[in-house]
Amino acid sequence: MKKTSAKAKAAKVTAWDRVKLARDAKRPHLADFIKLIASDFEELHGDRLVNDDRALIGGFATIEGEKVLVLGHHKGATVEENMEANFGMVNPDGYRKAMRLGKLAEKFRLPIVTFVDTPGAYPGDTAEARGQAEAIAKSLEVFAGLKTPIVVVVTGEGGSGGALAIAVGDKILMLENAVYSVISPEGCAGILWRDGKAAPLAAEALKITAADLAKLGVIDEIVKEPAGGAQNNHKLAAANVKKAVLKALKELKSLSVDELMARRYNKLMQMGRFN
């Protein structure tokens, strides 16, 4: 019998397989990454307007002696945490908290590391009433203009504007089995084919995998996962993320503020331009 090569095995992993892996409840979540990557973490709370959205957590941390601001979507690992964190679906208060902390990092000249893992922003009427669309748009504007290095890591689901609101950065890293898309495969299938069962087809068409997005220039680097997915070895997955983040920070910190901002602007302007 012929042995199947590693490359052939990798090719068999479909976009829909990646979606299922990205949503695996046993994958490392924000709290796991913070615990395994940072030597300390001091959480900061509230948007100073409404409340403290638990779907988005941020605070100061140290990564191998590097002082940073960590921001990320918090899904939770238990049913109780899921409910408290609204399954990682952020309200306007959460995005306003992110902006407040981002400006604080800029003030103290600290790099920002954001962890993206959300099915999307909370779509409820209470969020709309408090200005969900405005909060996301404002967050895009604020993060695009922050005069400090920003490294983004897509660790699970990168869902639509809910993800993009804290995903404007100088270096975009993405775990091997993470997905990043303007809409969920189910949502796309419902719109285009009027059939949610066409989600696997939609996942392929949307080009939402790390490999596809690297080819399109949307992300800068794919972070390798342990065999079978990050859920199988949290420590190794976090170690790989830590290495990639430190490498990105080292490069970005060598740039002047003017160079950093010019590169970020050019990066954003090139998105969506294809030959």
Any domain includes 169: yes
| Domain extent for 250 | 16-268
Tokens of 166: 């804290």
* Lookup result for tokens 């719109």: 191
Any domain includes 150: yes
Q: Write phi, then psi, for 78 (nearest 5 degrees).
A: -120, 170
**Ramachandran quadrant class, 45 (left: phi over 0; alpha: psi -120 to 50; beta: rest):** beta
Q: How many Å from the N-terminal Cα to the C-terminal Cα in the chain?
A: 43
Give residue-wise pLDDT tens across range 21-61: 999 999 999 999 999 999 999 999 988 888 899 999 999 99
Task: Give the predicted TM-score (pTM) of the model.
Answer: 0.92
Instruction: Give burial (CB, 10 Å; 0-12/13-18/19+) of 175.
Output: buried
Any domain includes 7: no
Per-residue model confidence (pLDDT) at position 1: 47
Any domain includes 235: yes
Any domain includes 3: no
What distance in Å separates the CA atoms of residue 85 and residue 69, rounded to the nearest whole number?
20
Any domain includes 5: no
Any domain includes 60: yes
Any domain includes 1: no
- What total number of domains does the chain contain? 1
- What's the sign of the alpha-carbon dihedral 30, 35, 36, 42? positive
Give residue-wise pLDDT tens across range 168-218: 999 999 999 999 999 999 999 999 999 989 999 999 999 999 999 999 999
CATH number of the domain bearing residue 35? 3.90.226.10
